[in-house]
Structure formats: C-alpha cells, structure tokens
Amino acid sequence: MSAPRGGANGRLASESATIESATIESATIESAGGALRVVGKAMPRVDAVSKVTGRTVYADDLTFPGTIHCVLLRSPHPHARIRGVDVREAAGVPGVVAVLTGAAMPTRFGVSPSSEEEQALATEKVRYVGEPVAAVAARDEATAREACKKIHVDYELLEPVTSIDQALEVPMDEPIHAASKDSNIHRLAALEFGDVEEGFAASDHVREDVFFYEGSTHLAMEEHSATATFADGQLTVWSSTQSPHNVHRALSSVLGLPMGHVRVVATPHGGGFGGKVDPCAHEIVIAKLAMTTGRPVKCTLTREEVFYNHRGRHPVLMWVRTGVTRDGRIRAMHFRTALDGGAHGSLGAATTYYTGALQPATYDLPAYRFEGCRVFTNKAPCGPKRGHGTPQPRFALELHLDKLAEDLGMDPVELRRRNYVRPNSRTVNGLRITSCAIENVTAEVLAASGYSRRRRRDGHGQGFAVSAYLCGAGSPMYLNRMPHSEVNIEVGRGGVTVLCGATDIGQGSDSVLATLVAEELGLEREDVRLVTGDTGLTPVDLGSYSSRVTFMAGNAAIEAARKMRATLVAAAAERSGAQPTEMTVAGGKIGPLSFEEAVVAAEELYGSLGSGGSYAPPPDISGSKYRGSAVGPSPAFSFSAAVVDLDADRVTGEVRVNKVWIAHDIGRALNPLLVRGQVEGGVYMGLGEALMEAQVYRNGLLHHPSVLEYKTPLSTDMPEIEHLLVEQPDPEGPYGAKEVGQGPLLPVVPAVVSAIHDALGIWVDEVPVTPEKVLRALDSRAKGGDPRTGPRAFPMIPYPPCVKVAPPDAASAAL
Amino acid sequence: MLRLPRFSYLRPASLAEAVAMLADHGGQARVIAGGTDLLPKMKRRQLQPAVLVGIGHLDALRHLETTASGAVEIGASATLTSVLKDSGLARHQPGYAQAAGVVSTPALRNTGTAGGNLCIDTRCNYYDMSEEWRIASGSCLKTGGEQCQMASSSPRCWAISSSDTAPIAVALGATAVVVGPEGERDVPIASLFRDDGNAHLALGPDEILTRLRLPAPDGSRSSYVKLRRRSSMDFPLAGAAVALKMDRGVVEGCRLVLGAVASQPVELGDLVHGLVGQRLDEEAIEEVANAASRLAKPLDNADLSYVWRKRMVKEIVAQAFRQAATSQAAAVP
C-alpha cells in the first residue's frame, strides 16, 4: 500500500507500519483498489478562488433591503456602578430607529454554563473599559454613532482592580462580581495525582522556577460582524462566529425564544483563533433590535471594539517545582498557575484547568500536583486563544526542563527523551494517549536543524522545545450525551450535498469535509456541495474550537458517506447483476454504473436518499471523574517539536529569528497544503507572542487597541519555516488524521527563549521578550547578579486542599 | 470601521488658488496631498477640518530635479516612492534617500509625499487613539484639554516629531519654500519646526510648503539610521541623521540631528563641533554617540520603554556616523 506523499515542502517521516496498515484497511476498505485519490493530495482550499478574487460574501458584505445599523455605547470606566441610563435625547435624533438598554434583556449568559455572568448590555455595573451599556439602531452607522454620544449614563466610579496581586487582596470597594463572595477570585483548582511528597523525597535534585506569560489578543483580520432579521416568528442571525451553536443557545436563552425559532448562520470567515467562540453582546443586541423594530439590523465592530471584546490569551503567572533523579528521570512535579481573567468568566474555568492538564501529556510524571487560580480584574475578558490555556504552562515547563538539564549537566533534549510519554498509555491524570509520535518529531526536527552539532558564534543560538495538544475536547461545554458532530448527506437529482454544522474559520474544515466525502464516494471535491455552519439547515457541530473539527466532523462525514456508498453499491448491484463485493467505487463510477446511474437506480429502488453520521468521543478517553476532569481528555493528541535559530544582539537586546524548524505529528495530512498553512500560522502566532504581542493596560485603559500600536510580526519579520510532517495514522482519526490548528504554536515560544539563552547565556523567563528585557538580564549579569529577567515570586494564594486522585493502575497505564 | 467625518473637498486649479482657498476659510481648512497622515487622524477625530484643499494634483508641486552638482529640489507633493526612484538623488543625497525609504510601508510610500512626511503631525500614544479612547483617558493639551496625560504637571505638549525625513533635511541644511498670501518665502528647514508638540510647524494657516531644496553635497556624505520595533511600517522610536565632510579621514564639517526624541528634530551642533579637525576613528564615534545618548530625552509616550530608546540613541548615532564615513570613502576616488 503506497502512502500519500506530502507537498513539495513537506517531508514524510518513517511510518509505523503496523498502525498504518491497520488504519488504512479500516478506513478505505476496498474503494479504488485501496489507493487514496483525494485524501493526502496537496490542493488549494475548496473556496480558494472566491476568496482570492474577492467574491466571498463575508458577514460585513451582507446588507438586506431596509437594514438599519447598530452601534454599541461602551463604558469609558474600568469599574463603575450604573445609576441610570437616559436615552431620551438619543432617541430623538433624526434617523434613529431604536435605542436599547440592558433592561430589555437582563438575562445573563456566558459561553460556559459555569460562568453565566455577562449581560448583552450591562444594567447594574460596568467591569471594563469597552463593556457595552446601550445600543442605537439608525438609518446609517454615522447617525447611530453620533446618537450614542447623546446617551447619558450616570456612573458611580469604583476602585478598579488591575493586577493579579491586587485581585488577591480584599476588594477596596466591592468585588467585581457579587457572586465571588467578597473576593475577586473566580476559580480555584487543586488536584493531586499520585504521591507528590514521596516523589520529591525520592528525588536527587529539586528545582523551582517562576515564569510569566503576558496576555495577547487574536487579531483576526476580520472584525466581528453580524446581521439579524426577525420575520414570521423566526429569528435569523448571520454572524462571523466560530460556533453558531453557542450563539444559537445564547440567543434562545436571553431572548426567550425556543431553539426551533432561532437560526444562526456562520458566514464565511476572516479568522477566529478563539476570538469568536463566545456568543457576543452585539449578536444578542441586533437580534433583540430586529425583534423590536421588524427591520434587518446589522453591527460590525471596529478594530478597537474587537480589542475590547477580546476573549484572548490569559496573562498567567506560574511557579513550578520538579524533582528528578540523577539520571534525569522526573519523580514529581508541582505546578501552580495564577490567571488574570479580566472582567468575565468566558471559558476561563476551563482555561484554568488547561493550565495544568497537558503537562503529563508530554512527560511521564509519576506524581503530579496542580494548583490553579483565576482572578477577575477590570480588564477586557480573557478567554480561549489558539492553544487555550496551554501555551503558558508549555512555555514555563519547557524552560524549567532546560534549567533542570543544566543543573544535572545533561543535554536538554536527552532529559526530555528520558521522560517522554509512550504511545498507548495512560497519564498520571488519566489521559488516554494512543498514537504518539513525540520521539519521531524530536528526531525529525533535530536532524533537519542540526541542533546537536550547531556551531558556536557570539549572539547566535538555537533552542528546542516539544509539546502536545488535543484533537478536540472530550467533553462538550455543557453537559449532554449527544453527538459532538453530525453530518447528513443528501443525494439526488441535485447531486451530492453534505450538511454539517462545522464552521470553516479559515482552517479548511469545508475542504476536509469535501475531501473525505469525495474519497468515500469515488468523486472529486468539486462534485460535493457543502452546506455548513447553519443551525437551521445543518445537523449540529459544536464549533470550531479545541482543534476538534477534522477529527469529529471528519469521522461523522466518513460514517455518513459510507452509509450512502453502501446504498449506492446495493442499488448498482441490483441493477447490473454484479456482486456488491466485486464493485469498486472510484473515478465517478459505482461498479459498472456511472455515479449518476447508480443514484437513479437507488432513487428508483429506495426513494429519497439521505444518510447520517455522527461522532462522540469514546468514553474511555478519561480516567477517574473529579471536578475538572472534563478538561484534558481527547480522542487523540498531536505532538510538535520545534527548533528556533536566532541572533540576539548583546548591545541592543534585539532578537532576529533566522529560521524555525517544526515537526508535527499530524497522523495523516488529509491535505498537506492546508496542513502547511496551519503550521506556518501557528509558528507566526507563536513568534508574535514570544517577541512582541502584549494586551496590556495603563490606568485601567487598554494601552494600544490598534493594529499599528499593538505589535505583531510583519511579513518582513518572518523567518524561513521548514515544516516536517510526521505521518503515523491515528487509529481513530479520519484516515488517521490528527489536529494541526493549535499544536504547532506551542513549542515555538519556549524554543525562542531557549535559543536566546543559547545565544547570550541569559534567561528571559517572561514573554514577550522585548529588547529591554534582554538588556536587563545582561546588565544584571554584568553587575554580578542573576543573568535573568522575569518574575521574582509567586503570590500566596488560598488554594483549597488538593483533591487526591489515584493514578491509573499498572494495567490501565499501559493500554 | 472608523469613518471620516463630513468635510468639503476643494480642488484648486493653481497654487495661488489653493492659498486663496486656505485664506478664505481662516484656519478651518487644511491642505491634503497623500493624506496618509491626515485621514487616519480625521477618522480618529483628532483633526476635524471643515474643508480640505487638495494639492496633490498640482503639477507645480510634483517636480523633482537633481542638478549635476547634486543639488536637489523636491516638490512637496512628489510621492516618497517617486523620490526613491530618482537615481541622482540616491547618488548625491544618500541620507535623504535612506530616510525616505524607511517611511512606513511601500504602499504608504506610494501615496505619502515628501512634503507630507516633513510636516506630519507629532505623535503621542495618549493622542493617536480613537475619540472613545481619548474620552476614557481624558483629553490632553493637544486635544483641547487642560493637562498633559503623560506628564500631568507639564505646561506643554510633549508629542513627538515622528518624521524620518525632517532630521536628515535639517542635517543637510535644506531649505523649505513656502507660499502664502504674501508670496513665496524661503525658510531654513530647521526654522520650519517648533519645540511644541501642539504646534510643531512654523507655518501660517494659509501657507503651503511647496518645495524642499537640498543643497549640493559639495563632497559631504549623509546617512540616516532609524530605530523601530519591526522591519517595516512603524514610526521611528529614534532617528539619527548625519552629514559628514571629511578629508583623508579628518572631519572638515559635520552635522548630527536626532529625530523622534523631542517635538522637533534636535540638532546637536555643539556636540559635533568638536569633531572638526579630528580623525573619525571608532573612539571618536563612540564618544560622540555616548554624548548624543546623554543629551537625548525621549519620553514615555511611544512604543517600548524610553530608557531603552535613550540607550539606543548611542547605537544609531554610531551607526549613522559609520555609514556616512564609509559612504564617503567609497565616493572619493
């Protein structure tokens, strides 16, 4: 069986023959004589031509006849009580159709059922600069914007809370959220797997470090935009969302409409990266305005408003203590995190657990204690951003291991290798690891970069790091046992139509669905019509987050396509007299019949032709149940390794990245061109977070809510990227595929800082690494001090006693 | 998206008519050529002129002329890209070409003009923000408020001169040609700028900068080094412009001008005076660069920390001197 080859710039690593043959057999059966025809081919996205020729209709391109335009009035204060909102003057402005305040829809909502504390328009108090307070709908945007200035809000100012330290103190005026009981602590977690103290006692060497990872925002090219109509009792909202399902649920709940009366359509997307997973205030506001005015209502956020809507990377302060034996075997690890959550919960409870969940997914930790804390502050709410809660601890963990290796006089790669997780094992915190190419990605990236034999030159260095990420969250955001993704296929005189709730946010999920269905039905991608991300027409998919879509919607699509194929094969057999087992499905033919002839035969025999497939993760992916155990388990994990090569200037402190090698455990590249795009995007974002990006505040006000002042790398700042795809098909992934949307970001950030250490002998234990931080560490060393820039201490946090979770027994630890 | 406020656009047929239009509107009008500085500021409601007088289409302002001796006259509306394409300019005025070549991005240089870059508004990260942000922050001296947001007790505005071409124009001893109701006048370029972030140009409301004259280099070589975070797009965090005349390794004449460390380009005349008659070796360069860094006073109203920016002045000054010296050595047969 010949395996598909990667794109011109991709390289295939050696494949594990046993996993491969088993998977291919179950995945492709006898179709096309076993050779894959569509899967594995490097092809442009199915919507590439529309996108590059400007014909794609994005959310902001939609304007229905009679549309009125909505602008939100936002709070200028970080923390204040609202004593009153007077809209009379604004309502009288010519051209204004409606003015809305929170009183019209006070129901609280949030993307996570555990954090439903947001209102679409705040009624009692505002908690960050930029929080929506009122809305105007008018004949045009300019009128609405001017009318907003005529809304008079009476604020009573409260002392703002702007740091983790301040949030841990007793609130000066009042807590940001009343529900958090005289404290600004949102969430505390304390878990212990195995006997950590025993592990430390048995260690030859114990080390502690403190790290800080600054917050950053997604900076998708497309600003959020949505349009709503309400007609004949049906609400329809078109929005640039990553999860029409989340928006659907929030609209139904806040507006008091049955789910069946609400339809949410995800429009073609200009990027999400996690910033469009939460249901947003403007989506609910325009829906309410459409209901009250009967007019189509549209709202497109400005770039600055997107910065306030945020839901981006949490700033996280971290403390880690690890005990190792002389030969580099980890015996115990204790990891503490403190997350600056901003003003609302968003997915922050999950984020908190994610800052502790995946450490054991790369390293075999015999004993592990995790304590996490998320605080509320008067800043734009943090939430999920590419890598969701895992880039921060990954940064800390990888650098901590570098330092441990230095302590032991051991090669940092060797130290890691001695502790790598094994394929088909269960981690100390109960995660099921199946396919795992962590050794392979390490070998690939080392061989390509020449890391181990790099030549020494002043100011030049290389850094290595490794990481793991989920292929989809094992649990839905709200408790239910329904499938996570469903696909329906309709075949008839109109051709083949695939219906799925999955939302293509640029990651290429539409292309993946077309590829899989075309492969299964012996067609080309162009023969497959896609209807996706529409809660009124398509069966559910939970959304484009947690790198879940290829794995989950992909498996659902394969199931639906196989059912349809069986139907068509049966009809073709009956019509032609051939044996079903002798039929090949390939090249637009079902056995001796053309695809169209087979469809006619099937429709004549069976009537309407439809098939369905669905996917829910298998139950054995998690171990014991405890509070927080829903975070971490996944049907599969991807592994990435990176080497960063850079020059760091000891005079200016400036860092120039020369090249990044990145190897990724993709399982199988369904489309190597799309995989490459995701790998490069992840590297880009990682470099931005390592060197520049910072969502920071001054006097409670976001420092630079503009794309000129919020620094992110330009095309001219990007180094060469050499990507290496390791293809060892996962036994449960669609054709063996695993995720690529998030994992490749993770090792880049620590590898940059490790390379700076290699170049200059200093540690910058805090990102972004600005030139000044580099110089501060060099200056410190020159004065005989610590050659380091970074946080000095971790605060005292009232963590509860640890929930002790027994590690899996020996039998289940080896699956 | 941010949208422009309403304004009237006037298209004069001549420079004289443009001046008359400005005079007619008594301070309510502004000229516009490329608009790359003005229009974003209007979108953020930092500036809200009722009238814009277009001058980009006037041929009289678009010419570019280099004489055999290397003197250059640049029309104020010549785009930075067109200036960069002129091989004579690049050969004789390398410092000016370097400065024009590092302004923003290629796309903005295709639109932005030589005159516009000289005149661009001063910048401050309390000022270059949207109207809503500035309401949340409180207005500053430059937006009609009572106090400077960066230095609350300061009686003056500290917004930063952020032109790349202004420092080199000063170093080259350029002349600005200005036209107003009274006719044309020549202004030594250094006198065009004022040390006031809130009124940084010595131009009347009805005056137009029409041309920039760079004198023949007469054996001197120039260079410009820009400090910025990223390799394109960003405004300068500091700039160093040097014009250097040497004879067999000995300095005959020298000017050093810093950009983006004050509200106007800062010429360090006394500092470099001591170089005349000296050999320009590494030690001399180091000394003058150190002194320049000590004199530079960047403030906390731009990207990265002002401590780092001040420290980097030394590096860019040294680099500018080395470049000018090297370029002179190469130019002398």
A257-287, pLDDT tens digit by residue?
A: 999 999 999 999 999 999 999 999 999 999 9
Question: Do A422 and A542 sit in the same domain of this protein?
Answer: no
**Residue A32 confidence (pLDDT) above 80:** no
Whether the pLDDT of residue A13 is over 80: the answer is no
Pair (A379, A526) in one structural domain: no
Asked whether residue A589 carries a pLDDT value surpassing 50, the answer given is: yes
Is residue A640 domain-resident? yes
| Predicted structure pTM score | 0.95
Q: How much of chain A exceeds pLDDT 90, in percent? A: 92
A719 touches chain B (CB under 8 A): no
Tell me, yes or no, whether A41 lies in a domain: no
Q: Do residues A448 and A494 both lie within one domain?
A: no
CB atoms B137 and A714 under 8 Å: no
A305 shares its domain with A443 = no
pLDDT band at A30 (very low <50, low <70, confident <90, very high): very low
Q: Å from A660 to nearest chain B CA? A: 18
B1: nearest CB among A300, A714, A716: A300
Contacts of B229 in chain A (CB under 8 A): 692, 711
Any domain includes A449: yes
Interface residue of B149, B229, B301 to substitute, partner A, most A CBs within 10 Å: B229
Question: Would the CB atoms of B125 and A142 count as touching at under 8 Å?
Answer: no
- Place A34 in a pLDDT band, splitting at 50, 70 and 90: low
User: Is A380 found in the same domain as A259?
Assistant: no
Query: Measured between alpha carbons, how far is B176 from A731 in angstroms, rounded to an integer?
Result: 74
What is the DSSP pairing of strand A297-300 with strand A316-324?
Answer: unpaired
Residue A31 — pLDDT band, cuts 50, 70, 90? very low
Confirm whether A499 is domain-assigned: yes
Does A183 map to a domain? no
Residue A182 is predicted with a pLDDT of 81
Are residues B230 and A713, on separate chains, in Cβ contact within 8 Å?
yes
Q: Decide which of A615, A644, A661 is a domain's last residue.
A: A615
Is A777 near chain B, with CB under 8 Å? Answer: no
pLDDT of amino acid A95 = 98
Q: What is the domain-level CATH number for residue A152?
A: 3.90.1170.50
Q: Which two tokens stand for residue A17?
A: 């023959």
pLDDT value at A529 more than 80: yes
Whether omega for the bond prior to residue A768 falls within 30 degrees of 0, making it cis, is yes
Partner-chain contact A705 B133, CB within 8 Å: yes
Report yes or no: A772 at the B interface, CB cutoff 8 Å. Answer: yes
Which ranges of A548-594 would DSSP assign to H, the alpha helix? 549-576
In this predicted structure, what is the pLDDT of residue A811?
59
Q: Would you call B1 and A223 a contact, using CB atoms and an 8 Å cutoff?
A: yes
pLDDT, position B2: 87
Q: Is A717–B135 a contact, with Cβ atoms under 8 angstroms apart?
A: no
Residue A237 lies in a domain: yes
Q: For the residues A479-492, what does the mean pLDDT come to?
A: 96
| A interface test, pick of B37, B132, B147, B149 with most A CB neighbours within 10 Å | B132
Which pLDDT tens digit goes with each residue over B199-257? 999 999 999 999 999 999 999 999 999 999 999 999 999 999 999 999 998 999 999 99
8 Å CB contact between A513 and A544: no
How far is B5 from chain A, CA to nearest CA, in Å?
9
pLDDT in single tens digits along all 333 residues of chain B: 789 999 999 999 999 999 999 999 988 999 999 999 999 999 999 999 999 999 999 999 999 999 999 999 999 999 999 999 999 999 999 999 999 999 999 999 999 999 999 999 999 999 999 999 999 999 999 999 999 999 999 999 999 999 999 999 999 999 999 999 999 999 999 999 999 999 999 999 999 999 999 999 999 999 999 999 999 999 999 999 999 999 998 999 999 999 999 999 999 999 999 999 999 999 999 999 999 999 999 999 999 999 999 999 999 999 999 999 988 666 654
Q: Is the pLDDT of residue A758 over 70?
A: yes
Q: Do A634 and A608 share a structural domain?
A: no
Residues A52-98: tens digit of each pLDDT: 999 999 999 999 999 999 999 999 999 999 999 999 999 999 999 99
Q: How far apart are CA A448 and CA A451, in angstroms?
A: 8
Does B125 contact A699 at a Cβ distance shorter than 8 Å?
Answer: no
pLDDT range class, residue A12, cuts 50, 70, 90 = very low
Shared domain check, A424 and A324: yes
Q: Is A304 on the interface with B (CB under 8 A)?
A: yes
Among A599, A615, A631, the domain-final residue is A615
Min Cα distance A167 → chain B (Å) is 22
Q: Please give the average per-residue pLDDT across A191-216, as a whole number.
A: 98
- Please check whether residues A284 and A343 belong to one and the same domain: no
DSSP A631-657: SS--S-EEEEEEEEEEEE-TTT--EEE
Name the β-bridge partners of A464.
A643
Q: How many domains does chain A have?
A: 3
Residues 516-535 of A with CB under 8 A from B: none
Tell me the nearest-neighbour CA distance from A643 into chain B, angstroms.
22
Q: Could you tell me which chain B residue has the CA closest to the CA of A717?
A: B231
Residue A248: give the domain boundaries: 59-158+221-271+276-309
The answer as to whether A106 is a domain residue is: yes
Which pLDDT score is estimated for A649?
A: 98
pLDDT given at position A648: 98
Q: What is chain A's mean pLDDT, rounded? A: 94
Partners of residue B311 in chain A, C-beta under 8 Å: 775
Nearest-CB residue to B305 (from A142, A652, A772): A772
Q: What is the 3-state secondary structure (H, E, C) of A464-519?
A: EEEEEEECCCCCCCCCCCCCCEEEEEEEECCEEEEEECCCCCCCCHHHHHHHHHHH
Q: Does A452 reside within a domain?
A: yes
Taking 70 as the threshold, does the pLDDT of residue A698 lie above it?
yes
**Residues 6 or more apart in contact with residue B57 via CB below 8 angstroms:** B11
Cβ-Cβ contacts under 8 Å, B3 against chain A? 141-142
Answer yes or no: is pLDDT of A245 > 90: yes
A789 and A668 within one domain: yes
How many CA atoms within 13 Å lie on the side-chain side of B257?
32
Q: Which of residues 133-172 of A touch B (CB under 8 A)?
A: 141-142
Mutate to test the interface with A, among B43, B45, B129 (most CBs of A within 10 A): B129
The three state secondary structure string of A217-256 is CCCCCCCCEEEEEEECCEEEEEECCCCHHHHHHHHHHHHC
Contact between B221 and B328 (Cβ < 8 Å)? yes
Return the CATH number at A678: 3.30.365.10
> Domain check: are A418 and A547 in the same one?
no
pLDDT per residue as tens digits for the range A289-318: 999 999 999 999 999 999 999 999 999 999
Q: How many residues does chain A have?
A: 815
Average pLDDT over residues A161-183: 91
Contact A302 B2 (CB under 8 A): yes
Pairing of strands A316-324, A205-213: antiparallel
* Domain boundary, last residue among A581, A615, A649: A615
Least confident window among A362-366, A757-761, B245-249: B245-249
Q: Cβ contacts (< 8 Å) between B305 and chain A: which residues?
A: 770, 772
**Is residue A300 domain-shared with residue A364, that is, in the same domain?**
no
CA distance B271 to chain A (A): 23
Among A304, A713, A772, the residue with its CB nearest the CB of B308 is A772
Q: Are A707 and A41 in contact (CB under 8 A)?
A: no
Co-location of A407 and A490 in the same domain: no
Q: Which of B1, B125, B137 lies at the smallest CB-CB distance from A302?
A: B1
